Amino acid sequence: MSGDGLATASLRRRVSLLVLALLAVLLVVLGVTVDLALGAQLRSDLRDRLVDRAEIAATLVEQGRTDEQVVAAVTGDTVQALLQTADGEEVGGIPDPPAGPAGGPGPGGPAARPDPGQVQDTGDAYVLQEELPDGARITLVADQSPITDAVTQLRWVLAVAAAVTLLLAAALVSGTVGVGLRPLGRMTGLARSITSGDRGRRLRPDRPHTELGRTAAAFDDMLDELEGAERQARRAEAGMRDLLGDAAHELRTPLAAVQASVETVLRGDPPRERREELLAGAVRELRRSARLVGDLLDVARLDAGAAPELALQYVDLTAVARAVAGRVGGAVQVTGDPVLLPADADRVAQVLDNLLRNAVRAAGTDGQVRVAVHREGPDAVADVTDDGPGVPEADRERVFERLVRLDAARSRDGGAGLGLPIARGHARAHGGDVTCEPSTAGAHFRLRLPVSQPTA
C-alpha cells in the first residue's frame, strides 16, 4: 500500500485545542503587556511626583515660607521629606534613611549621596535630593510598595480572568466549531448516500472560492470523474462482451464451413475436382478466421496502449496502394505519382487494406472505389472514396471506436467493426492519422503519413 496515511484525529477536538492554545497565548501576551505598561506608567508617575514636589519646595522657599511649612507642603501620597538647613538642622524625617546608589549610607552619612536633581531607584523607593535657593537640601522619598501591591493584585486579576476566559471558551468553542464544521457533516452524509446508490447527488457550493467551497467543488469534481470512469468502465465491459459475442459469431461461421468441408472430404471421398473445391473453401475460411484473430490481437494491443513495432524503410505509398487494391478486388482505381516515405510497409498495407475493404463493402457490387495518392506539405496523403451511402456527420468519429458498425454496413455483411480502429492505431504509430472527411456523396477516408522520419 503506497502513500502516507491520513491523520484521522477528531477535527473538532483539534480545532478546539488550537483555538484554545491561541487564545491562551494571546491572554498571556495581553497580561504581560498590561503588567509591564501599567507598572512602567505608575513608576513614571511616581518619579514625576517627586520632581513636582521638589519644584514646589523651591517655590515655597522663594516665597519665604518656613522650613516646617515647606516639609508639610511636600509630604503626603507616599512621599516623605527630610529638610537639612544650611546650619545642619533637620526638619521632617523619613522612616529609614535610603541607601545610596551603591548601597552606602543615607543622606546624613559620610558615604556617597544620590546625585542632586536626579531620581534614584533604591529598589524599594525613589529618592530625589534637591538644593533649595536658601542653601538647604531637601530629600524626598517615595515608597514603591503601593505600586508593587497594585501590580501584584493586577496580575492575580489577570490570571483569574484568563482562567475564567479559557474555561468559558472551552465550553463554547466545541459547539461553535461544530457549527462551523457542519458542511463537512453534509459532505459525509452525501458520501454515504452515494455509497448506498444515490450517485446523482452533488454538494454544489454557493461560494466556491472559500476553503469549504473549494473542498466541496473538488468533491463534486471527483464524483463527476468517478461517475464518468464508471460509465467508461461499463461501456468497456459492454464492448468486451460485444467483442466476444461478435468474435464468436464471426468465427463460428468459417469454422463450421471448414468442419463441413473436411468432414465431406473424409467421409464421402468425393471426386478430385469436388475435393479440391472443398479444400480451397476450407482454406479461404481459415484465412478469414486467421484475419479476425489477428484483428482481435491488434485491438487488444492498441487498447493496452502498446505501440506496434515498426520496421521502417522507404516505401512508395502509391505502389503499396496498387498492391493492396489488387488483393482486395472489386472496382478499385488507384491514381497518383510515386510518394516515398519512411514507414513499415506491412502496417501501411494493413491500414490501406482495412480502408479499401470497408469501401468495397459500402460501395456494393455496382459501386466504385477510388484511391488518390499525393504529397501535401510535409505529409503523404491517400484519399479513399466510394459510392456508398456515406457516413453521417455525427458518426465520423464514432466509426473509429472498436465494434462500431453503422446500419448500412450491417446490411451489407459488414466486418466485426475492428478495421478502422486498427487502421487509425497503426497510422498514429507512424506519426500520422486516419480521418473521415466531409463528403457530398459516399464516404471519404484520408490516410495521412509524415514524409520525414517519425519520432518514437
Residue 8: its pLDDT value, please?
Answer: 54
Range(s) of the chain covered by CATH 3.30.565.10: 313-450
Give pLDDT tens digits for 338-376: 999 999 888 899 899 889 988 888 888 788 899 999 999
Q: Is residue 287 a contact partner of residue 307, using CB atoms and an 8 Å limit?
A: no
Residue 445: its pLDDT value, please?
Answer: 93
Residue 117: its pLDDT value, please?
Answer: 67
Q: Is the pLDDT of residue 152 over 50?
A: yes
Residue 414: its pLDDT value, please?
Answer: 47
* Beta-sheet pairing, 313-316 with 332-335: unpaired
Distance of alpha carbon 57 from the chain centroid:
77
Residue 402: its pLDDT value, please?
Answer: 67
Residue 410: its pLDDT value, please?
Answer: 40
Q: Taking the CB of residue 299, how many other CB atoms lie within 10 A of it? A: 21
Q: Report the side by side order of strands in the sheet with 119-121.
A: 90-92, 79-84, 137-143, 125-131, 119-121
**49-63, 210-224, 326-340: least confident range:** 210-224
Q: Which three cell numbers stand for residue 87?
A: 546650619
Residue 370: its pLDDT value, please?
Answer: 92
Give pLDDT tens digits for 270-329: 888 887 888 888 888 887 777 777 767 766 666 666 666 778 899 999 999 999 988 887
Q: What is the CATH class of 13-152? A: alpha beta
pLDDT interval class at 78 (50, 70, 90):
confident
Q: Compute the mean pLDDT over every residue in the chain, rounded to the nearest whole number.
A: 80
Q: What is the CATH class of 313-450? A: alpha beta
Give pLDDT tens digits for 79-130: 899 998 888 888 888 766 444 443 444 444 433 455 666 888 888 888 988 8
CA distance 44 to 32: 18
CA distance 384 to 82: 123
Give pLDDT tens digits for 239-278: 677 667 766 766 777 788 788 888 888 887 788 888 788 8
Residue 279: its pLDDT value, please?
Answer: 83
pLDDT interval class at 446 (50, 70, 90):
very high
Range(s) of the chain covered by CATH 3.30.450: 13-152
Mean pLDDT confidence for 427-431: 88
Q: What is the DSSP string of 359-425?
A: HHHHH-TT--EEEEEEEETTEEEEEEEESSS---GGGTTGGGSTT---HHHHHTT---S-HHHHHHH
Residue 105: its pLDDT value, please?
Answer: 43
Q: Is the pLDDT of residue 453 over 70?
A: no
* Beta-sheet pairing, 340-343 with 125-131: unpaired
Instruction: Classify burial at 209, counting beta carbons within 10 Å of its beta carbon; exposed 0-12, middle 13-18, buried 19 or more.
Output: exposed
The fold of 211-303 is Helix Hairpins (1.10.287)
Mean pLDDT confidence for 12-31: 86
Q: What is the DSSP string of 313-330?
A: EEEEHHHHHHHHHHHH-S
Range(s) of the chain covered by CATH 1.10.287.130: 211-303
Q: Which three cell numbers stand for residue 217?
A: 467543488
Residue 260: its pLDDT value, please?
Answer: 81
Who wins on pLDDT, 166 or 209?
166
